[in-house]
Amino acid sequence: MTGTPSVFAGLDARLPALRELYQDLHAHPELSFQEVRTAGIVARWLREQGWDVTEGVGGTGVVGVLRVSDGPVVLLRADMDGLPVLEATGLPYASTRTGVDADGNEVPVMHACGHDMHVTCLLGATALLAADRDAWRGTVVAVFQPAEEVSGAQAMIDDGFAERFPRPDVCLAQHVGPIPAGTAATRPGAVMSASDSFAVRLFGRGGHGSAPENTVDPVVMAAAVVMRLQTVVSREVGANQAAVVTVGSLHSGTKENIIPDTAEMKINIRSSDPAVRTRVLAAVERIVRAEALAADTPKEPEFTSLNSFPLTLNDPDATATAVAGLGSVLGKEQVWTLPQPIMGSEDFGAFGSAMGVPSVFWHFGGADPGLFPDPDPASLVGGGLPPGVAYNHSPQYAPLQDPTIELGVRALLGAAGQWLGIRTS
């Protein structure tokens, strides 16, 4: 707003506390829908800043609302959950935590996807907004979402989100990624792929390992399924289309000389086009059922849905507006246009879809720029990363604290400022 100081005037003074917060969150990750400690920290910070706070939304979600005047309503979202990954970053604040997953297994827990950075950046943005209420207009809804990895956005929506909080004019969110710190990347339209995850149980007939002729071996059947699934993308999806089929979990049996009765696998499918999604899902089911038929199983395979995310779609007009805001704080040349959707998936789009409002999602850099001799947005969509750069979900993944925290705060407020009238310089 003309004549007012930049909303970033107090950022430098807040960075030490934000770094400390980030290290604490990184050292204490929590699995999806178990983010009790993280949610408590978020709620305390928001209340101390002067936000109207609601806890327990969709389980462990936290929502802060701050209204300074009539005008646009902007939703800003950060996700909070960690992953069942054993950290191998070697950082002094590396996680040594364990947790119990949805199947009752004790697992290591790590912030392997950068959600701790998302929380830190959004709390930095909310602090600046609350401290300088004359520098902007309208209302901000700050959403700290649980369980992004397993449809936490839908859980918040199912908990009456649209009825309980101000309806936004736009929904904005960002995700830290393995691109140079100081850059951001997005595109209009599809920006993240659809994701479908399900479990498959194959039924055999168990027996002694010395007499396989008296059994139907589910281990052999599962192995055949895994190998055959590799042909779905290579032989049933066009070279100009995109899909990924991953078997991330396969379990069967307890002893080397006992042929078990069942084998269980968990399959994930990514796709960037609705028609491709339909074709790949059908192909996977067809292959599983055909292998079971070929093995003469005593029972049809069982399919159990685990989660499903649609395409993350950026509204074209809102994306152009947000990109202008990102460019105002990062530099226009630092805001990349992705050549195609990223094959990773997100549930953030559920907020905009449920409320019928536009949304914009972008990636911002958290990697050492010195590791990128020839920076290219294609590295996020299958172009390959330089040596020494870890991708999200890796045991080695951890964004740089500096300058990522500062730039993540600036990116959020730069984009939101296009609606809120924030003076950023």
pLDDT tens digits, 229-253: 999 999 999 888 889 999 999 999 9
**What amino acid positions are annotated as catalytic residues?**
81, 148
pLDDT surpasses 80 at 48: yes
Q: 171 labelled as ligand-binding?
A: no
Q: Is 308 exposed, middle or buried (0-12, 13-18, 19+ CB in 10 A)?
A: middle
Q: How would residue 383 be classed by pLDDT, with cut points 50, 70 and 90?
A: low
Residue 42 has pLDDT above 70, yes or no: yes
Residue 142 has pLDDT above 90, yes or no: yes
* Contact call for residues 237 and 282 (beta carbons, < 8 A): no
Tell me if 38 sits within 8 A of 54, measured CB to CB: no
Q: List domains and CATH numbers for the chain.
A: 7-193+311-420 (3.40.630.10), 194-309 (3.30.70.360)
Closest CA relative to residue 306, chosen from 270, 338, 268, 335: 268
pTM higher than 0.85: yes
Residue 175 assigned ligand-binding role? yes
pLDDT computed for residue 376 by the predictor:
66
> 210-244: b or e for each residue (b if 16 or more CB lie within 10 Å)?
eeeeebbbbbbbbebbbebbeebbeebbeeeebbb
377, pLDDT greater than 80:
no
- Per-residue pLDDT of 309-338, as tens digits, reads 888 999 999 999 999 999 999 999 999 999
**Contact at 8 Å (CB) between 82 and 30?**
yes
Q: Would the pLDDT of 386 be above 90?
A: no
Count the residues in the chain: 425
Mean pLDDT over residues 18-33, rounded?
Answer: 98
pLDDT computed for residue 6 by the predictor: 79
1, pLDDT greater than 50: no
Q: What pLDDT shows up at residue 379? A: 61
Stretch 292-298: mean pLDDT, rounded?
Answer: 96
Name the 3-class secondary structure at 362.
strand
Residue percentage of the chain with pLDDT more than 90: 85
Q: Which pLDDT does position 181 carry in this prediction? A: 94
Question: Reduced to 3 states, what is the DSSP secondary structure of residue 247?
Answer: strand
Enumerate helices (H) and strands (E) in the chain, giving the number of each.
10, 18
Q: Per the annotation, does 26 bind a ligand?
A: no
